[in-house]
Structure 1
Amino acid sequence: MEQTPTIPETFLGVGYTRDRAGLPLEAVRVPVPQPGADQVLIRVAASSLNPLEYKLADLNFMGRTPPVALGLDLAGVVVAVGDGVSDVAVGDAVAGLADLNGNGGWAATDGSGSEGGYAVASRFLTARKPPSLSFRDAAALPMAFLSAFASLYQAVHVGESVYVPGGGGGVGHLAVQMAVRALGAGLVISSGSTPQSMELARQSGAQHVFDYKRDDVPAEIAKLTGSQGVDLVFDATYSERGFVETAKTVRRDGSWIVLGVGPGKTTRLVETDSPVDAILAERGAKHVNVNLLRYFSEPATLDSEARDLLQRGMALAMEWAEQGIVVPHISQTIDSTVEAISTGLQSLKAGHGTVGKVAVIVDRDLAGGPDSGF
């Protein structure tokens, strides 16, 4: 294993020290991990916020033993590689997803610098960052892009109609772009609850965007599709009430794809009755769950086809962003402080209509380097 001599033994991360402690997060000192076989160790330049981070702090449903450092999206520089890694080298600029069985890469700073944040990522969930793509923008992609990619890449066919509720959200705006610009969907419909989120859905390529608080979206979609409904719904909103409404928009024999554990299980603690499956059954529509958790928490359980799909996804995330096909919208950029990250996650949790992604600059010197574009 190739290793640089300047890697510290520990770093001060941002995470939680008690099981189910929730927000706000704390500064936590954790070991810098060693990359295992087919893994790379990344010194993190930038990251972004995902709902999964506050859910892990609230519930610790992966059963980790605290202290746990969070920060799952990674963009930075490879500082060590494990056995079997030959196509990425120390010094390469990359983006990737932190291994959930390890720690994330947020480093607690005071806004003026830090000792750095480090995280291990599986090689198949790591891709080289193009020089023209900033560390900040690259870090906004991995989890949100792969969530959309794993859901849509093999499901959307040229000319089909697609409904993406929440097309101004972190996953949603990438999904809209992907469906329109990369996968050839014929009609892409979206919805939002604020002028800003609806505008981002339009900018991302949705031909029709509805206000789900005011409009009868199922009725509007029926009008647009000759009362048939759309071929495919991709719902990443994680709203029980929303699930019921979006299920009503699927055509007979269509597909309703949900990100995460899905209807009746959104609390992860208590399962509740949901009418979604009955609505879909009446239409003969497929209910498909896409859950990325096991992809990067249990990589050894994945077959080669699943690994290849996700590796292809990470490569395309970088390629399409560089080409301007699927580009992350950064609504806010924050420093990697406990307070700023906790505030940002609290806003996500409260559903305050965060538009696009919130980026986190973990290492300002590294993120602002000559290869950064930042």
Structure 2
Amino acid sequence: MKAIVCRELTGIKGLALEELPAPIPAVGQVCIRVHACGVNFADSLITRGQYQAQPQPPFSPGFEVAGEIVEVGEGAARFNIGDRVIALTPQGGYAEQVAVNVNRCVAMPAVMSYEHGAAFPIVFGTSHIALWHRAQLRAGETLVVHGASGGVGLTAVAIGKQLGAMVIATANGPEKLDVARQHGADHLVDTRYEDVRARIKALTDGRGADVIYDPVGGDLFTASLRCVAFEGRILVIGFAGGTVPQIPANHLLVKNVDVIGLNWPAYAELNPRVMTESFQILLQWYVAGAIQPHISATYPLEQAVEALHQVVTRKSTGKVVITVDGSKSDES
């Protein structure tokens, strides 16, 4: 089978397309013929040795796939050969086949395409657990979403509207803001030209935002501390801006502010009930037509490095997906 392989922790430049033996599922695993794989910023971290659960080379990146089961290991009988599934993989998604624990797989609705399946779990799962479970966003509250045109940002906009919030989207430039508007944002703030703090305060009649969703960090986090409402909640999702902020505790004390971290993958091991319930809600919303992934580009497996480059350089909006022709993978 074909796979994109990382043999040294030198970043994207160390990735190469190789021919490998097809995986054999261990006890409790299934083998999936991959039809599509979502691309995430964390894929670049794992190739540099900077991911929190770091495998040693050689390995393939790729944390989320959609495909069909081609082999069922012992103890994985809840699925059958031919079942369409979405799977969260510790690594290995940039390949024609991957073996994954059965408890990391969910059945894919018949109406969902493989591309949507691969674009769905991480970005929607992250935003839903952040807003619904961690921040407990309520109908009628004001939600600010930073980086609102990115993979997780767009899903936070859509989920915020689904939960009944007024959504203020921030992004860099009118083109990216227009994407956020198309996904339901009520108000738009251009971080390139506008004073984020002043604009959010103005849009909330001076009160500030109830919940701020921040996958960017840096200066935007500083602005968030200054425009969050009394008893507001700031969600720390990531640091795509490159700077990890330091929090002056007196700001939290003055307005009774909660700063809430989210390590979404940890729920798979430490609180799977929350992740399972979240997926059930999200897939119901998808089938009902209430939410849908925004895929800005697809690349074949052979161009996976370029796909990842698009995400790392923040040139994409929404999700980038690798499509895989797995029709020959069972011959390797």
Q: TM-score by structure 1 length?
A: 0.79
- Decide whether the 8 Å contact of 1:141 with 1:317 is kept in 2: no
Map of 2:174 onto structure 1:
195
Map of 2:69 onto structure 1:
78
Aligned equivalents of 2:240 and 2:38: distance in 1?
A: 26
Q: From the superposition, tell whether residues 65 and 263 of structure 1 become closer, same or farther in structure 2 (CA, over 3 Å).
A: closer
- Decide whether the 8 Å contact of 2:173 with 2:191 is kept in 1: no
1:52-91 to 2 correspondence within 5 Å? 52-61=42-51, 62-91=53-82
Aligned equivalents of 2:28 and 2:230: distance in 1?
A: 44
Aligned equivalents of 1:126 and 1:276: distance in 2?
A: 41
Aligned equivalents of 1:255 and 1:27: distance in 2?
A: 44
Aligned equivalents of 2:110 and 2:152: distance in 1?
A: 24
1:132-151 to 2 correspondence within 5 Å? 132-151=111-130
Aligned equivalents of 2:245 and 2:198: distance in 1?
A: 25
- Decide whether the 8 Å contact of 2:7 with 2:14 is kept in 1: no
Name the structure where helix makes up a greater proportion of residues: 2
Q: From the superposition, tell whether residues 249 and 283 of structure 1 become closer, same or farther in structure 2 (CA, over 3 Å).
A: same
- Decide whether the 8 Å contact of 1:144 with 1:170 is kept in 2: yes
1:197-253, CA deviations, whole angstroms, 9 ceiling, x for partnerless residues?
11111111110011011111211111122211111111122x322222223221121
- Decide whether the 8 Å contact of 1:28 with 1:68 is kept in 2: no
**What's the CA shift for 1:280?**
3.1
Q: Which runs of 5+ in 1 are unaligned?
A: 1-10, 108-116, 367-374
Residue 325 of structure 2 is aligned to residue 363 of structure 1: yes
- Decide whether the 8 Å contact of 2:296 with 2:320 is kept in 1: yes
% identical aligned pairs? 28
CA RMSD of aligned residues (A): 2.5
Map of 1:247 onto structure 2:
225
- Decide whether the 8 Å contact of 2:218 with 2:245 is kept in 1: no
Residue 98 of structure 2 is aligned to residue 119 of structure 1: yes
Map of 2:206 onto structure 1:
227
Which 4+ stretches in 1 moved above 6 angstroms? none
Q: Please state whether the residue corresponding to 2:56 is helix, strand or coil.
A: coil
**What's the CA shift for 1:32?**
4.1
Residue 57 of structure 2 is aligned to residue 92 of structure 1: no
Q: From the superposition, tell whether residues 247 and 192 of structure 1 become closer, same or farther in structure 2 (CA, over 3 Å).
A: same
Aligned equivalents of 1:194 and 1:350: distance in 2?
A: 15
Residue 160 of structure 2 is aligned to residue 176 of structure 1: no
Residue correspondences, number: 325
Aligned equivalents of 2:22 and 2:249: distance in 1?
A: 45
1:32-51 to 2 correspondence within 5 Å? 32-36=22-26, 38-51=28-41
Q: From the superposition, tell whether residues 245 and 82 of structure 1 become closer, same or farther in structure 2 (CA, over 3 Å).
A: farther
**What's the CA shift for 1:28?**
4.4
1:318 to 276, 279, 283: 283
